[in-house]
């Protein structure tokens, strides 16, 4: 189920990006970690991506704006987005921006696996 599926993690904290990458590569996913929104949009012009995972708060970017742009563009609107944050009101903010799922920091590894597997399976149907 996971082989051949590419996930992009957008987070300005390289430690969090690395942690998520290691966790998901263990499950067999190909994971690309990037730190800037513009790099995500450049990547999407040349690669097929099965899922985007992004933080709500990004240095120089806003995760909700990134999510909204993805969902408003017909070329990327079908890519599922998981947003995460430690902010107390983040769930509603992220879902309103179009996120398919939300995870509160710190998140549970099993919860991450479950949400990722579910969304990637949905895209591959």
Lookup: tokens for 62? 């806003």
User: What is the band of 2 on the pLDDT scale with cuts at 50, 70, 90?
Assistant: low
User: What is the band of 125 on the pLDDT scale with cuts at 50, 70, 90?
Assistant: confident
User: pLDDT, tens digit, for every residue of 60-117?
Assistant: 889 999 999 999 999 999 999 999 998 888 999 999 999 999 999 888 889 999 999 9
Per-chain mean pLDDT for the chain: 92
Q: Structural domains in the chain?
A: 6-120 (3.40.50.2300)
3-class state of residue 27 by DSSP? coil
Distance of alpha carbon 38 from alpha carbon 113, whole angstroms: 27
User: What is the band of 10 on the pLDDT scale with cuts at 50, 70, 90?
Assistant: very high
Distance of alpha carbon 121 from alpha carbon 101, whole angstroms: 14
- For the chain, the distance separating the N- and C-terminal CA atoms, rounded to the nearest angstrom, is 11
Beta partners for residue 10, in sequence order: 34, 54
DSSP 70-122: HHHSTTTTTS-EEEEES-TTHHHHHHHTT-SEEEESS--HHHHHHHHHHHHHH
Helix (H) / strand (E) containing 69: helix 63-72
Average pLDDT for 28-36? 95
Question: How many of the other CB atoms lie within 10 Å of CB of 82?
Answer: 23
């Amino acid at each position: 189920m996971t082989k051949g599926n590419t996930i992009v993690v957008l987070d300005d904290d390289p430690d969090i990006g690395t942690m998520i990458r290691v966790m998901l590569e263990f499950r067999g996913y190909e994971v690309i970690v990037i730190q800037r929104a513009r790099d995500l949009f450049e990547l999407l012009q040349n690669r097929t991506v099965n899922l985007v995972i992004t933080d709500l708060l990004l240095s120089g970017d806003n995760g909700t704006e990134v999510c909204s742009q993805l969902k408003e563009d017909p070329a990327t609107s079908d890519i599922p987005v998981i947003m995460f944050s430690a902010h107390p009101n983040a769930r509603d903010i992220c879902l309103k921006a179009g996120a398919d799922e939300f995870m509160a920091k710190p998140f549970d590894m099993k919860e991450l696996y479950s949400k990722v597997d579910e969304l990637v399976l949905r895209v591959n149907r």
